[in-house]
Structure 1
Amino acid sequence: MRAIWLMGAALAVVAAPAVAKEPAFHRAVIADPAPDPNHPAGMSAFVIPARDGAMNAVLYTAAGPGSHPTLLLLHGFPGNEQNLDLAQAARRAGWHVLTLHYRGSWGSPGTFSFGNAAQDARTALDFLHEPATASKYRIDTTLIAIAGHSMGGFVAAAAAAEARDIAGLFLVDPWDPSATAAAIATPEGEATWRAEVAGDLPPLAGASYDLLTGELKADPARFDLGRRLVAYGRRQLTIIGAERGMATMARKVAGDAQSANPDARLMIWPTDHSFSDRRVALADALVRWLSALAPITR
């Protein structure tokens, strides 16, 4: 009897249908798509005028016919980590990606400031929505999203809060400048901030410790990330914080966002501010988030 039972069990195991497992990573993260000879992927470099200066910009264009959804990808302060691996993954997934350097940063004409960077993000969104831009680069203006890292998270949220035609907002270990404004009221906080700014000034034109710090102190409410996320409302929002980075800020502003949008999502990963050991996972999270976005209705 035992032998018959064992034989039956073995047959049952052999006959059991295989259960499909979800791939560990989205295909666009780990594999190139088939080339499209008629509508190949590409890259265009240009300058976007911005008030008293301009932004040096690059648009990564996805392969395939017709219009494409587009991601505005914003780097932090000063922008040593530009997250271009995320741009490439999003393009492989069928998205155009616009990257840029704010006025006064990395050779872009003009003066760098935190306020100017926030304005620049909105200028870039306006550029993507211009009929001439959308026609030339085949941009689907009903499906434009923004992603920002560190300071880029703040400027992304500031722009998205004002622009009602944004389908989603994806923040990577975002910086809340208002929290820094509060911290520099103490000698310890000011010393930490001074050391950080000193190392970040070289690629920035027209910026100094006194000017940047004065900007934060003069109007902390203007730089309150949590307020911007509340104003952003109930649209799609994901925040991924870094435990060894700005996780405390991420948790706080996520709570603010969830007061207006219970569906806002927060994840905290055990990594550093640059996600140095989670780059593939970060690209996967972004691509899966993009693939779930729906076009806005006008």
Structure 2
Amino acid sequence: MKRTILLASLLALAAAPQWAQAKAVGHPAIPAAIFTDPPADKANPPRMEVLHIPSGGLEINGVAYLAGGAGPHPTVVLLHGLPGNEKNLDLAQAIRRAGWNCVTFNYRGSWGSPGSFSFEGNLADAKAVLAFVRDPANAAKLQIDTRKLVIAGHSMGGWVTALTAAQDPGLAGAVMISAADMGGRGAVPAAKPIITKSMSTELESLAGTSAEKMADEIIGFSPRLSFNAAVARGLSTKPLLVVTSDDGLAPLNDKLVAAIKADGGAQVTTDHETTDHSYSGKRIALEAVVISWLQGLK
């Protein structure tokens, strides 16, 4: 019987996908949280909380993936892109299995959150969510360690992350995943027709806006709300992870990283994945890079 069990175990290991064997090409050992559930804690089980977060006189929709075990727990606030078809909720779940809380939300006017969608509204919403999780009553209820709070964002959410983190000295770090510099787009010659055409494909699940309104807003706040020198200076003071892919955005992210380093930033980690904008072929690699970086924070 023992020999049979041993043989079955060896065959299962041999047949297991490569990521399950603790190594990935070009990456460190894959954190166990990616493929292993945490030990059961009946007194403090993991759970999910639906959130209604005040912002701009409204209450936007959010979800908190709360880690098991006695808290408080370090926490990631995770921001989706435009319009947010890829919300990276597999990453949120992996972050929770790693012992961190993960708070996600929908900007005003997106995916059922009330109000009208706007880019500057997204920036205000991110600040409102950080204020919400830092509120002593909410932090206690959600078991959040406000001293170890990280903001992370994908695509447009990476832009919101960069501008928000640059102005928030209380954050423990920030993660930018294929960040799209929305403010930089308005500097393109003959920008409006180009941006309007681009925005016309991004309107699903957005309310109170149009491709023309979005283009006008981008042109209006460029370059004030771009990856400018002030943003690089603000990001140079904190740990930062910048992940890029083969989606055409890597040069803009590399330029920002270079500016941060030129401003004295010595806490920047970069990673490039050979996949598309949604990291469709590198979900495990993305999770491994983000969780390994989080675990390395002091």
Q: TM-score range by the shorter chain?
A: 0.7 to 0.9
Paired residue for 2:252?
A: 249
Pick which of 68-77 and 235-244 moved more.
235-244
Pick which of 51-60 and 101-110 moved more.
51-60
* Counterpart Cα distance in 2 of 1:163 and 1:135: 21
Identity percentage of aligned residues: 37
What is the aligned counterpart of 1:179 among 184, 203, 208? 184
1:281 matched to 2:285: yes
Contact 1:230 1:259 in 2 (8 A): no
What is the aligned counterpart of 1:206 among 182, 201, 208? 208
After superposition, where does 1:41-56 map in structure 2 within 5 Å? 41-56=46-61
1:258 matched to 2:264: no
Pick which of 164-173 and 218-227 moved more.
218-227
* Counterpart Cα distance in 2 of 1:38 and 1:245: 47
Paired residue for 1:98?
A: 103
Q: Per the alignment, in what secondary structure is the counterpart of residue 136 of structure 1?
A: helix
* Counterpart Cα distance in 1 of 2:248 and 2:64: 29
Paired residue for 1:268?
A: 272
What is the aligned counterpart of 2:128 among 123, 126, 136? 123
* Counterpart Cα distance in 2 of 1:206 and 1:230: 34
* Counterpart Cα distance in 2 of 1:279 and 1:289: 16
What is the aligned counterpart of 1:68 among 70, 73, 82? 73
After superposition, where does 1:183-194 map in structure 2 within 5 Å? 183=188, 185-186=189-190, 190-194=192-196
Shift of 1:231: 1.7
* Counterpart Cα distance in 2 of 1:273 and 1:203: 19
Paired residue for 1:17?
A: none
Paired residue for 2:171?
A: 166
* Counterpart Cα distance in 1 of 2:260 and 2:209: 31
* Counterpart Cα distance in 2 of 1:89 and 1:153: 19
Paired residue for 1:240?
A: 243
Q: If you compute each CA radius of gyration, which structure gives the higher value, 1 or 2?
A: 1
Paired residue for 1:58?
A: 63
* Counterpart Cα distance in 2 of 1:66 and 1:169: 22
TM-score w.r.t. length of structure 2: 0.86
Contact 2:91 2:287 in 1 (8 A): yes
Q: Per the alignment, in what secondary structure is the counterpart of residue 199 of structure 1?
A: coil
What is the aligned counterpart of 2:218 among 216, 224, 236? 216
Shift of 1:142: 0.7
Q: How many residues align?
A: 271
Contact 1:58 1:98 in 2 (8 A): yes
- When residues 190 and 271 of structure 1 are mapped into structure 2, their CA distance, relative to the original with a 3 A threshold, is farther
Q: Per the alignment, in what secondary structure is the counterpart of residue 228 of structure 1?
A: helix
Q: Per the alignment, in what secondary structure is the counterpart of residue 223 of structure 2?
A: helix
Matched residue type, 1:252: K
Shift of 1:190: 5.0
Shift of 1:76: 0.5
Matched residue type, 1:210: E
Shift of 1:193: 3.0
Shift of 1:100: 0.2
Residues 225-255 of structure 1, C-alpha deviations (whole Å, 9 max, x = no match): 2442322332101101112341122112212
Shift of 1:266: 2.4
- When residues 30 and 245 of structure 1 are mapped into structure 2, their CA distance, relative to the original with a 3 A threshold, is farther
Shift of 1:191: 4.9
Q: Per the alignment, in what secondary structure is the counterpart of residue 240 of structure 2?
A: strand
Pick which of 216-225 and 39-48 moved more.
216-225
Structure 1 stretches (4+) deviating beyond 4 angstroms? Answer: 189-192
Paired residue for 2:9?
A: none
Paired residue for 1:292?
A: 296
TM-score w.r.t. length of structure 1: 0.86
